[in-house]
């Protein structure tokens, strides 16, 4: 089984592309594995137990997606920090200020995907993509860290992907960076294939 997570809309946005992708791929079979698509709440307190339970299910790959409204490409996040910080707050209005996610956790954990191989494959297929080493301190970094912390002793591939808005959405808001939905789905499929081919 492969688990792919996205987020519900937040901060006035009507659409979250990560949710669209997770819902679109739910139930599909990619590289011989069935995909479970999960939409996470934009809530520190609600998302944590959900991600912990997803790790306990021991999928072969847990790939989380999140919206980065200003990014112009697919961003493979390599590192998650043990920090929750948001002065604007989540959808519940909760505003963690320089909080530690797990008291006994390391300051940072590296994702467990073959990032260099994936990046080469993505660019080889004409998908604009980069490695990123800071996923912020909002919910994207939060769920990534929660997943990596809980998967430390488990043989699970864990990764996070930041994506821009989808082109369909940008037709109404042409000033925002975007990529076609088909291209994002293609990128996710490449990430899955390369991760499972190079499984630990």
Of the candidates 73, 162, 165, 194, the residue annotated as catalytic is 162
Lowest-pLDDT range, 34-48, 81-95, 186-200? 186-200
pLDDT digits (tens, 9 = 90+) for 39-87: 999 999 999 999 999 999 999 999 999 999 899 999 999 999 999 999 9
Closest CA to 112 of 183, 69, 63: 63
State residue 170's pLDDT score: 80
Of the candidates 73, 140, 165, 194, the residue annotated as catalytic is 140
Of the candidates 24, 33, 77, 165, the residue annotated as catalytic is 77
C-alpha 188/C-alpha 84 separation (Å) is 26
> What confidence category does residue 199 fall into, taking pLDDT thresholds of 50, 70 and 90?
low
For the chain, the helix, strand and coil percentages under 3-state DSSP, each to the nearest 5 = 30, 25, 40
Question: Angle between the 181-197 and 115-124 helix axes, to the nearest 10 degrees?
Answer: 140
11: pLDDT strictly greater than 80? no
182: pLDDT strictly greater than 80? yes
pLDDT digits (tens, 9 = 90+) for 102-151: 999 999 999 999 999 999 999 999 999 999 999 999 999 999 999 999 99
Q: Is 77 a catalytic residue?
A: yes
Contacts for 97 with CB less than 8 Å, ≥ 6 apart = 85, 87
User: Residue 87: helix, strand or coil by DSSP?
Assistant: coil
124 φ, ψ to 5°? -65, -25
Q: Is 73 a catalytic residue?
A: no
Rounded to two decimals, the pTM is 0.95
State residue 15's pLDDT score: 86
């Amino acid at each position: 089984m492969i688990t792919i997570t996205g987020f519900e809309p937040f901060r006035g946005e009507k659409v979250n592309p990560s949710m669209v992708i997770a819902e679109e791929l739910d139930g599909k079979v990619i590289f011989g594995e069935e995909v479970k698509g999960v939409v996470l709440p934009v809530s520190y307190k609600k998302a944590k137990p959900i991600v912990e339970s997803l790790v306990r299910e021991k999928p072969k790959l847990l790939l989380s997606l999140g919206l980065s409204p200003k990014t112009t490409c697919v961003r493979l996040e390599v590192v998650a920090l043990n920090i929750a910080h948001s002065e604007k707050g989540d959808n519940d209005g909760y505003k963690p200020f320089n909080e530690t996610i797990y008291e006994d956790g390391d300051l940072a954990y590296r994702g467990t995907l073959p990032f260099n191989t994936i990046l080469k494959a993505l660019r080889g297929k004409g998908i604009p993509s980069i490695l990123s080493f800071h996923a912020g301190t909002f919910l994207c970094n939060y769920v990534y860290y929660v997943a990596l912390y809980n998967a430390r002793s488990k043989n699970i591939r864990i990764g996070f992907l930041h994506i821009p808005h989808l082109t369909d959405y940008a037709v109404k808001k042409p000033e925002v960076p975007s990529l076609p939905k088909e291209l994002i789905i293609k990128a996710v499929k490449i990430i899955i294939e390369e991760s499972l081919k190079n499984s630990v």
